[in-house]
Amino acid sequence: MAGKLNGKVAIVTGGGTGIGGGTVLRLAEEGAKVLIADIQEELANQRAGMVREKGGTAEVVRADVSKEEDIRAMMAEAVKRFGRLDIVVNNAYAPASSGGGGTAEKVSSEGWDAAMGILVKSMYLSAKYAVPELRKAGGGAIVNISSVHGLLQAPGAMLYEVGKGAVISLTRQLAVEYGKDGIRVNAICPGHIVTERIAERTWKDNPSGLAFFAAQYPVRRTGKPVDIANGAVFLASDEASFITGHALVIDGGLTIQLQENFAVDMVKYAREHPDLQLPY
């Protein structure tokens, strides 16, 4: 494979499936050697196989981003296997520990710590151990996956909303700190992306629900992992050499359109489908 990332080495956390999996494929298509870091080794190995079938290079390391030692080890592993590190895409998070979370009155301090450890602390630790290697390579790029939920808040989902907002602030701070080293740090704010997991758990038995959400977007569709992967490739490439500290919104226009009846329709839909876990 040859492309705009020829000769580069990338790490993608949570790269076995979903947005991370799509990003692995696109980075490899553009010539990067990719280390897939995931707690789900079987899925990660399947993704690496997909890359190799297309002529690309990918390896796998088991990593739990809630553990500092795992984060430090995955950086070292990338350098050990490929000789350098140029790109880090921080995508992994654990839905079970960082979803929703209720209000300030309902969230436990333990729940708060667990969620922030995944959503925010893992990205700080990633930078802590990636920056020295990126600096040795003469610079590089970090891409942090935030969300439209980092820009627009939703009631009853404090942990996710606050965590994703903090990712954007962390991204800007890192950009200020390390720009002098040739290290650019940006974030991506996806809208509703229909990953394999979401398709199976949320929309498989409720196609009308997916159609409802698609209708809220100016482009009249929800997102696909490749939509975010394309943004990650751009931000990691030299084409974005003058972009840092930016939160790139990739949401089909969701956050730019004021929809007067959206909240009313949402409540109505939720009442009609009480067992459905809505993504917003």
pLDDT score at 198: 78
pLDDT 10s digits, 68-125: 999 999 999 999 999 999 999 999 876 544 455 688 999 889 889 988 988 999 999 9
DSSP string of 9-64? Answer: EEEEETTTSHHHHHHHHHHHHTT-EEEEEES-HHHHHHHHHHHHHTT-EEEEEE--
Give the pLDDT confidence score for residue 216 in this predicted structure: 82
Give catalytic residue positions. 160
- Kindly list the distances between the CA atom of residue 186 and the CA atoms of 7, 62, 170, 201, in Å, as whole numbers in the listed order: 21, 25, 10, 30
The pLDDT of residue 96 is 46
Q: Calculate the average pLDDT of the chain.
A: 89
- Return the domain boundaries, the chain: 9-195+224-258
Residues 266 and 209: their CA atoms lie apart, in Å, by: 10
pLDDT for the residue 242: 98
CA nearest 276: which of 194, 191, 200, 201? 201
Q: Encoding tokens for residue 156?
A: 């009853």
Residue ranges for the chain with pLDDT beneath 70: 1-2, 94-101, 258-271, 273-280
Query: What pLDDT, on the 0 to 100 scale, is given for residue 82?
Result: 98
pLDDT of residue 258: 57
Model confidence, pTM: 0.90
Class of domain 9-195+224-258: alpha beta
Residue 138 has phi, psi (to 5 degrees) of 90, 15
User: What tokens were used for 69?
Assistant: 């030692």
